[in-house]
Structure 1
């Protein structure tokens, strides 16, 4: 037994007795320990408990650089999807008020938005979700521990409480679902001292005021979009392109709409430093990559949206030999979410090559729990996962972008059907619909299987969700044409699309 403690894991001396006890008894404290109380971790733990497993969930939130912290539920519930969508809705309501005048509503000449009232309502709702998750875990007999977990070996987890108290737990299997956190740039003076991230924006008590958003990821665009929508001065600084990884034609339409909507863009520029002025404002200095010239402006808030980093550093993975991608820091996982160490699994945002999407993590977590309980061998299908960017003009997509489809099948191997349409809601309101667009990408040939679908317009998420089922079932272009649309809706335009890009014909919809 002593030889085990000197093996590849470099065990400490006192581990001998823990290993001996566990080996002789063949028992653990739990069947499953899940490290991470986000959407995926909670789904995995509850599913396992439903299947008769004894389960514990460890969740601990390190405060952001600004000091923001939150409760159980992970990024989506606290600083992601939920508060983002609610603030996006606040912005949409502001646009609806403007439209309402055209529809006969008598609106006062001056309307204003109260940040603190909105933020308070959103934060109270999030807190209710935190409590709800705790109740659900309790109801399903899942042990919830508000401690920071790290791995000792493939069956042992050490937990550290806020007060510094250590707890040792053992389990047959350990699942890592710790997700990620926003990154700060490390080479820009004043970035962390004076900036915030998406971990903070939703929990601000006071309005962020004039805001510079650095980064044009979906996080950056969504935040700048709802800030503009509630009447604030918002600027996005873009180093290269917007919405990297998404269809770039559609990404261009989204940013064009945002510029017309009032969001400012500073293209191909790189921030150099952030200085706090005696007045309390933030002076940002940046360089134009095209000309090399230097510029400055003053803002109330600087929001960094320059990517996310996986929460792996404090887990002790290197000591166990859990293989990581050295560039991204993410855990390399197999199709069954297994890591390089037996009995340790990982899924969600922390897994290399996995979509950073809440519903994906939830589904993957549930399936993993079922496999570990011996109830199924079904693996998670990561193909044709739909998503939506909740910018002022929403952008929903599923399947391949046009760029990726062309890489995979060749230019002559795909057919792209597309249309510019005008939502009925935009007509009386006299809103510009120049960027309302859809494209359906098909394999070129006899069956014309659909491999990608992209849609910008109102309720893009609701539209895309239904068509995602079609792609999952292998729908073809003829299936689409044989689908009767619901009139008058934006979604029906997808079922009528017939102009190909290859034809060069005008793709503007001109009638019902």
Structure 2
């Protein structure tokens, strides 16, 4: 049974994970030939752990923390801290520290695989028969493996724009977190959570940052919260170019960083704008890594529009012995904890006799913009569509974190709201908070919502004072009342 399980997860490891044999300082060399993690046009590759550990959640949150520390330094003078030394940020020191930490994580994963007697095959896998894959190493050596069951977990890679100069001169989030030089004046193309998070921490460490937005911020999220998060970023130095898309990227000067010229076209008319930047970061979405692993040879269906794989409620594809988890699953949230939970529960069903399925409803998440945005459940727009606006009650409030009162900054920028279904005992169907430590707040409320949290239960809960999260226990004003929600303090 153990041997079968090892082979079952083979494709997950072979396709989704990368080489560990290359010293980290060499990983960014152009021409790096790793096929399993195909290097970016800039030459970036990485090790075990997938997107989250190497080029996603972990480095993103640490760079976000670097920016928060910069704000804390400014606040500290009002709290009595005195310092004369000029304060500046060193990009190289930050990147080295973060990459060293990531290296420790990837090494730990490899040790853990060995301790669990999981065979790790460092190669690129392709189906050649329904129960057979070919694995090709960096040196071109081929081995063949058969299994009764396969799990696909190949993840996604950033999408490019398809315009002149994009792959030659631009970078993506796959490159940013190990970039060996400070990116300088940066244009970020896109309005996804990746785009806004990167814009936020780059501005937070003192860089000149502009975001070019084609349509709306944070598509799929509550739009009131998205606009408030964007407004906060604008008050803290991030510039936005709305309703424009790049049409051409040109190199003006080589260097680290370069000097680039960006030409962009309005989405609403004939207007054209031009600008010069040191770095252009593309964050316009991600494509599933499913088109080149032989799925067509075994009949696994994919969504041709996005490359994602439709599955049933047990993560099973249309081919019964092939399963899919993570970002490549069609219609599911692209979040690391979701992939982990789905994978664990799938393994238990396949080999442990469990019947528990992954619950994709009411998944809490947080966007680590400068003012963090945490949410669980439905955006207000979706709640109105699903239940009817007349059946939805929204309770909301602005708030001012106590820690911000002494430095006297950003009053009434933080915002919280809950969305309730009036015809289901005022059950909370949407939870949204924009403020410091939003992720920590949202995690706990996520469990409560999963247990059927209602407005009455919130009202009966005693808050912890003075905290930001306590505002959810004292909300009285409904959006429909039109009453003022500004706050003077605690």
TM-score (norm 1): 0.89
- Unaligned 5+ segments in structure 1 are 1-26, 43-57
The separation in 1 between residues aligned to 2:245 and 2:407, in whole angstroms, is 38
The separation in 2 between residues aligned to 1:199 and 1:429, in whole angstroms, is 36
Larger Rg: 1
Answer whether contact 1:40 1:358 (CA < 8 A) is retained.
no
Aligned to 2:193: 218
Aligned to 1:232: 207
Which of 468, 472, 491 pairs up with 2:469?
491
Answer whether contact 2:421 2:429 (CA < 8 A) is retained.
yes
- Unaligned 5+ segments in structure 2 are 19-33
Answer whether contact 2:6 2:118 (CA < 8 A) is retained.
no
Aligned to 2:152: 176
The separation in 2 between residues aligned to 1:258 and 1:39, in whole angstroms, is 37
The separation in 2 between residues aligned to 1:101 and 1:408, in whole angstroms, is 49
C-alpha deviations, 1:120-165, integer Å up to 9, x for none? Answer: 0000100111100000000001001110111123321210101011
Aligned to 2:272: 294
The separation in 1 between residues aligned to 2:273 and 2:489, in whole angstroms, is 48
Answer whether contact 2:477 2:485 (CA < 8 A) is retained.
yes
Answer whether contact 1:151 1:315 (CA < 8 A) is retained.
yes
Check if 1:373 corresponds to 2:351.
yes
Judged with a 3 Å threshold, the aligned counterparts in structure 2 of structure 1 residues 473 and 38 are, in CA distance, closer, same or farther, namely farther
Aligned to 2:117: 141
- 3-state SS of paired residue (2:360): coil
| 1:28 Cα deviation from its structure 2 partner | 6.5
The separation in 2 between residues aligned to 1:130 and 1:108, in whole angstroms, is 40
Aligned to 1:506: 484
Check if 1:474 corresponds to 2:474.
no
Answer whether contact 2:95 2:177 (CA < 8 A) is retained.
yes
Which of 408, 430, 433 pairs up with 1:452?
430
Answer whether contact 2:123 2:137 (CA < 8 A) is retained.
yes
Which of 314, 318, 322 pairs up with 1:340?
318
Answer whether contact 1:31 1:171 (CA < 8 A) is retained.
yes
The separation in 2 between residues aligned to 1:80 and 1:448, in whole angstroms, is 37
The separation in 1 between residues aligned to 2:413 and 2:224, in whole angstroms, is 11
C-alpha deviations, 1:87-143, integer Å up to 9, x for none? Answer: 000000000000011111113363110000000000010011110000000000100
The separation in 1 between residues aligned to 2:15 and 2:454, in whole angstroms, is 33
- 3-state SS of paired residue (2:210): strand
Aligned to 1:22: none
Answer whether contact 1:41 1:365 (CA < 8 A) is retained.
no
Check if 1:310 corresponds to 2:322.
no
**After the TM superposition, which residues 81-480 of structure 1 pair with which residues of structure 2 at under 5 Å, given as runs?**
81-108=57-84, 110-186=86-162, 188-278=163-253, 280-445=258-423, 447-480=425-458
| 1:34 Cα deviation from its structure 2 partner | 3.5
Answer whether contact 2:127 2:294 (CA < 8 A) is retained.
yes
The separation in 2 between residues aligned to 1:38 and 1:286, in whole angstroms, is 40
Judged with a 3 Å threshold, the aligned counterparts in structure 2 of structure 1 residues 329 and 507 are, in CA distance, closer, same or farther, namely same
| 1:33 Cα deviation from its structure 2 partner | 2.8
C-alpha deviations, 1:249-290, integer Å up to 9, x for none? Answer: 010100000000111111111111000014641000112334
- 3-state SS of paired residue (1:121): helix
Answer whether contact 2:405 2:489 (CA < 8 A) is retained.
no
C-alpha deviations, 1:61-80, integer Å up to 9, x for none? Answer: 11111100110000000000
Aligned to 2:21: none
The separation in 2 between residues aligned to 1:234 and 1:511, in whole angstroms, is 32
The separation in 1 between residues aligned to 2:107 and 2:376, in whole angstroms, is 33
Aligned to 2:30: none
